[in-house]
Structure 1
Amino acid sequence: MILLNGASSSGKSSLARSLQQALDTPFLHVSSDQFVEAGMLPPRREPDGPFAWWTQVRPRFFAGFHRCLPALADAGNDLIVEHIIEFPAWRDDLARLLGHLDVFLVGVHCDLDELDRRERARGDRRIGEGRGHVEHDRIHTFGPYDLDIDTTSGVTPALTTTVLDAWRHRTAPRALR
């Protein structure tokens, strides 16, 4: 499993698609955004009660997302997973759930001004969301990575090759363990 962790708009999806194209074997591309885009979430989000997004729905959604990853891998699928590991507890949860798997954890970094520019260009993200993941949530501080990359200049063929070369030459122990 190749697990990409980075802020919103950092290039994780572009990198995942590029990796899929470059790999010699089929890898499934899995992200929580795909579940959201499929209409999985209830349309109602309220501050309190059973539809309370932050305290009720969101924690269960991500707990389920984390649990689907070992299920997919244990069924024999190779995965490229993109995620925003927002809390140390999420990283701990993933380490526990994926501990029996070969997980190559990639830190996807991007200049903050470039994150802001991409969010404005996309039009489907809250401006400052990616910056908040880095500055407020501190997503890159919860532990080491097997590889750190910078996507500020985009996802180039050379960057894809760098990730694949590092993945192909990985050694134990892995960063997520």
Structure 2
Amino acid sequence: MKQGIIVFLNGTSSSGKTSISTELLNQYEVSFHHLSIDNFFNGLFHDYIDFINTSIESAEGEDVQVPAQIIIDPLITLFYSTIKFMSAKGMNVVVDTVNDNDERFNTCLSLLIDHPVLFVGVTCSKEELIRREKLREDRESGLAISQYDQVYCFNEYDLELNTEILRPDECANLILDFIRLNREYSAFKKLDKRSVGVS
């Protein structure tokens, strides 16, 4: 079975990934499924996260700091494993997440390296990210800027899209143009695992 294309949108919070994803889902030339880390956690695992939070609040005894990664990292591995599974089943997937952690990125790279990943940089200026955050009012102020250097540390992309210049529909059309031309998805395969502990 032919593997499905993984359109991996790499960008900070508020960079425009979800808007591009929506445009890709609304066109009819290439069928896509959208897998967002926000929907994955808040949708599929909403009750589980609530259970964990409630259990922590009701726990008695000394307040011991336990890393959230104990819970979060396995779920993120499941997120990337789900993408791999969907591609293996021949489904085209638009991935909407933030790669701001070395260990999690390495997991992503290991799982998806043998699949057709169209690695797309979704960028805009820091000033524009700050402006969008203020308009959205559903993101912690400064979140995008805190992610910026780690998210945009890559020097390999199949396609780079500046959402300050391009509208979401124009970005989607450039992605579709790339797919139509049957160009090789090579950038993701050129990436090296990041040194854990940098972030």
- TM-score range (shorter-chain normalised) is 0.7 to 0.9
Quick check: 2:20–2:169 contact (8 Å CA) kept in 1? no
Deviations 1:99-138 (A, max 9, x none): 2211100010011111111111111100110111113xx2
Does 2:149 correspond to 1:123? Answer: no
Aligned counterpart for 1:133 among listed residues 115, 127, 147: 147
Q: How much does 1:89 deviate?
A: 3.5
Q: How much does 1:157 deviate?
A: 2.9
SS at match of 1:141: coil
Aligned counterpart for 2:41 among listed residues 36, 58, 61: 36
State the one-letter code of the partner of 1:115. L
1:101 aligns to what?
Answer: 115
Q: How much does 1:96 deviate?
A: 1.9
Q: How much does 1:165 deviate?
A: 1.2
State the one-letter code of the partner of 1:2. V
State the one-letter code of the partner of 2:179. W
Q: How much does 1:26 deviate?
A: 1.9
Aligned counterpart for 1:21 among listed residues 4, 22, 26: 26
SS at match of 1:2: strand
Quick check: 2:32–2:92 contact (8 Å CA) kept in 1? yes
Q: How much does 1:11 deviate?
A: 0.6
Q: Distance in 2 between matches of 1:119 and 1:17?
A: 19
Q: 1:170 to 1:88 in 2, by over 3 A?
A: farther
Q: 1:119 to 1:74 in 2, by over 3 A?
A: same
1:11 aligns to what?
Answer: 16
Q: 1:95 to 1:85 in 2, by over 3 A?
A: same
User: 1-10 vs 22-31, which deviates more?
Assistant: 22-31
Q: Distance in 2 between matches of 1:118 and 1:60?
A: 31
Deviations 1:122-165 (A, max 9, x none): 11100110111113xx2121451111111124634333222221
Does 2:176 correspond to 1:164? Answer: yes
Q: Distance in 1 between matches of 2:106 and 2:183?
A: 21
Does 2:175 correspond to 1:174? Answer: no
Using structure 2 for the length normalisation, give the TM-score: 0.77
The structure with the larger Rg is 2
Q: Distance in 2 between matches of 1:144 and 1:92?
A: 16
State the one-letter code of the partner of 2:11. G
Q: Distance in 2 between matches of 1:10 and 1:94?
A: 20
Q: Distance in 1 between matches of 2:121 and 2:80?
A: 18
State the one-letter code of the partner of 2:65. D
Q: 1:158 to 1:139 in 2, by over 3 A?
A: same
SS at match of 1:124: coil
State the one-letter code of the partner of 1:25. V
Please, which runs of 5 or more residues in structure 2 have no aligned partner? 1-5, 58-63, 190-199
Percent sequence identity over matched residues? 26
Q: Distance in 1 between matches of 2:140 and 2:133?
A: 7
Q: 1:147 to 1:15 in 2, by over 3 A?
A: same
Q: Figure out how many residues of one structure are paired with residues of the other and give that number.
A: 172
Q: Distance in 2 between matches of 1:154 and 1:132?
A: 24
